[in-house]
Amino acid sequence: METTFVRYTKYDGSLHWNHPAMYLGEDSHGVWLGIPAGQTLLRDTTPKVLTYRFVMLFPRDGWYTASFNARPNRTELYCDVTTVPVFDGGEVTMVDLDLDITRYRDGSVSLLDEDEFVEHQAKYHYPPDVVTAAVDSAEWLLGTVRTRQAPFDDTHEKWLALVP
């Protein structure tokens, strides 16, 4: 399978999460990438070896990315509010805008890192349009994830089945 490199940065350009992923395909929701169990991801340069597999969704025009985790991970879904993902050759890049939405296996949904978002607005001088887009994206994600609307229903299952 073709490999796509995933590169998240912070607003100042510093490296955040980065790792290779398997290109799985594309549908009306965006591009789907897979990460097998045992793969090493880097947070900046710190390695983290995963014990579970997951798939990632990169929408073509949305201010977010989504990771759908296989069991035994207790987090079913993790969405990062980001700038719109940009594909360039074999790489996808986006800026992490701090806000995160999670859905746990019990169905509960949480908005995370609001304090970090406020702190980074001042530290990195987020422009007003970026702040507005991030807040709007987080609000949309909360509603869509809670009500399990596509692609946050079981859409990811067919993609997850492709990941070893």
Q: How far is Cα 117 from Cα 119, in angstroms, rounded to an integer?
A: 5
Q: What is the pLDDT of residue 96?
A: 98
Q: What is the pLDDT of residue 142?
A: 98
Q: How far is Cα 100 from Cα 16, in angstroms, rounded to an integer?
A: 14
Residue 152 near residue 77, CB atoms below 8 Å: yes
Which domains are assigned to the chain? 3-159 (2.40.380.10)
pLDDT digits 0-9 by tens, 38-51: 999 999 999 999 99
**What is the DSSP pairing of strand 109-112 with strand 91-104?**
antiparallel
Beta bridge partner(s), residue 41: 48
Q: What is the pLDDT of residue 1?
A: 73
pTM of the model: 0.96
Q: What is the pLDDT of residue 113?
A: 97
What value does the mean pLDDT take over residues 130-159?
A: 98
Q: What is the pLDDT of residue 29?
A: 98
Q: How far is Cα 156 from Cα 158, in angstroms, rounded to an integer?
A: 6
Degrees to nearest 5, angle at CA 106 with 103 and 109:
30
pLDDT digits 0-9 by tens, 41-91: 999 999 999 999 999 999 999 999 999 999 989 999 999 999 999 999 999
pLDDT digits 0-9 by tens, 93-134: 999 999 999 999 999 999 999 999 999 999 999 999 999 999
pLDDT band at 151 (very low <50, low <70, confident <90, very high): very high
Query: Quick one: which of 128, 125, 75, 133 has its CA closest to 101?
Result: 75
Q: What is the pLDDT of residue 125?
A: 96
Q: What are phi and psi for residue 102, nearest 5 degrees?
A: -120, 150
What value does the mean pLDDT take over residues 14-33?
A: 97
Give percent helix, percent strand, percent coil of the chain, each to the nearest 5.
20, 45, 35
Q: How far is Cα 126 from Cα 72, in angstroms, rounded to an integer?
A: 37
